[in-house]
Structure 1
Amino acid sequence: MNKLFKQILRLSITLTTANLLMSCSVILNSIKESKQPEAKKVATAPPIVSPALKDAIHDLQDLKIKSEGEYGIKLREYEDKLKEILPVAKVAQGDEEALAAMKSAVEGHRLALEFWQCDHLTGYDNLHQCRDKALQGIFNKYPEIKEQALAIAQAESSSFISAGLDQQSLLEAIWSQANGDTAIAHQIIYPPLDVINTATEEK
């Protein structure tokens, strides 16, 4: 009986000692890890892009500011600006997301200009035939604009969809979409400073 008791006691002491050693090892490892300095965050560098992409986004940003400004933008100025942007946008290269957003913005402005240029025509039928044709491209790109425009047109009961639409409201709806794409492209090319700066360890 005494022999069995001694064996149990020895086993108990052995297990207790092993548990204590394991606990000490865990504590020491925790202390060691807590003393290690945090790894520095890797800086996120701006994407590599072509000068043409930067120029196109810069010009689109100008259009965004003017179209959203108090005095807006005139048709002639809009035409001239897009004549400058379109050839530059065609040769632009670089970050895929920025490039896609830029091209989407350019296409939106091109569609808006196509609709707006119908003002050069004379005669009610000629004007609205031109506008209705331009609307097809706008509707294909912006289904949400199509839904609203068709609802308004049905209420007007006109043979021309565009006859029931306010020109300025339609242009502003397109610009809102195009300017949103411009903002995305601009943010990618010119990220905030806190994104590109390397974070250093706090002392």
Structure 2
Amino acid sequence: MNSQALNGKRVAILATDGFEESELSVPKASLAGHGVDVEVIAPSGKKDGIRAWAETDWGETYEVTRTLDDAKAADYHALVLPGGLFNPDALRTDDAALDFVRAFFETGKPVGAICHAPWVLINAGVVEGRKLTSVASVARDLKNAGAHWEDSEVVVDNGLVTSRTPKDLDAFCKRLEEELAEGRHAGQHG
């Protein structure tokens, strides 16, 4: 990826306690390595940081750049939603988080979601008619919400980038960076 195409772009990573550590740390490092300003956004009350889940136990605590109360989708070029089990389960019932996610779709900005993160997309009402992948346990939820699920390391549908698990992170980051470089997508919808 040509870093010049990404230099100066700004990406939000929306997460809360229990995100899968690699699904936040790897995209964040990959994007930052291309000159992207990456901010970690968390629900209100998480100003002291959010704690990762590292495969089988609690991981590191990550600094929060700003809370949802202080974040506006208009200030970012793209959104990343890491998975894990606890993180997307909490975010999918948070109205402010769902509004934040919907705003990216409404303005055609790229969105990346991995593992269980498509749960958040389902509750935001943005998956119907879209092609996605996810961890296998979320496949039925996506199909029930009207999405076309496929078992692939990465699926791209008009700016929406999805992957299954941490083993797919290289492909996920590569395609996310390509979509970010392309900019807004007319086919991205809320």
Query: TM-score if structure 1 supplies the norm length?
Result: 0.27
Which has more strand, going by share of residues?
2
Larger radius of gyration: 1
